[in-house]
Amino acid sequence: MVGKIYFDRAMKYKGELFLKYKQEVIYPRGEVVNAQTPVVVTLHGMGTNYLNLRPLMPIFALPIIEIHLEGDLTYGDGYTYYIPEFIHQSEEAVITETALAVHTEVAAILANRGLAENPLNVLGFSQGAILAAALSVLYPSWINNGVLLSGRLPAFLWKTAQTKLKSKKLQTACFISQGEKDPLFPVEAGQELARFFRTYAVIEPEYHVYPFGHGVSYQAVEDIYNWYVRLHAGT
């Protein structure tokens, strides 16, 4: 199986048909896919789409299977997974519900493709990074590696981790980056993310601050690449 595959119809998972998010699944061209081939799920920021993070895929340094998931709500010129207006529902309810929907859909894609046992990576930017953090707590053994770019930690995740994880630890290795000039999430947001994963993750997170705004710098790309190579090499 090589090249691009687009899901444009409902899939069946555990007897139920569904399709909530627009998806693009890309297999590595000319490579043999097996149980060791990493899967990378991307979760974009508000106002963009499933194409936004595709250019970052070379940071994973290996042949990978890409799953690009697009938010289902229109926002500006693009899409979002949820609207951050916590009036009728709490932030915890909205983000937890959204994370559950993302998990259900990704789990279905993996199951339908025979990829449920493959190493799973999640790359999230901004709102996508928030969801990646939530997914790592709600499903502590699901994600092998997470790249959280320009995000923040919802406060309720501290409480969730204290009650849900108890003696267990998160199995997710994380690379966390924050921009010094980020107008949306200050440096302290990245520091709190790093502190959270230092507290609950088995593997020490890698945290970097860049002289950048709400985006991804060239240096961040290089640092993520090197981090992933080290993880894969076990050093």
Query: What is the reported pLDDT for 103?
Result: 97
Q: Is 61 helix (H, G, I), strand (E, B) or coil?
A: coil
The b/e string for 32-49 (b: 16+ C-beta within 10 A; e otherwise) is: ebeeebbbbbbbbbbbbb
Q: Are 129 and 165 within 8 A, CB to CB?
A: no
* Stretches in the chain below the pLDDT threshold 70: 1-18, 166-168, 234-235
Query: What is the reported pLDDT for 3?
Result: 53
- In angstroms, the CA 56 to CA 221 distance is 8
Query: What is the reported pLDDT for 11?
Result: 53
Six-digit token string for 159: 């409480």
Q: Are 156 and 76 within 8 A, CB to CB?
A: no
CA angle 129, 119, 71 (to 5 degrees): 35
Domains (ranges, CATH) in the chain?
3-39+50-233 (3.40.50.1820)
Query: What is the reported pLDDT for 9?
Result: 44
Cα four-point dihedral sign 151, 61, 173, 118: positive
- In angstroms, the CA 13 to CA 32 distance is 25
For 49-81, the pLDDT digits (tens) are: 999 999 999 999 899 999 999 999 999 999 999
Please tell me whether the overall predicted TM-score, pTM, comes out greater than 0.85 for this model.
yes
Q: Are 161 and 137 within 8 A, CB to CB?
A: yes
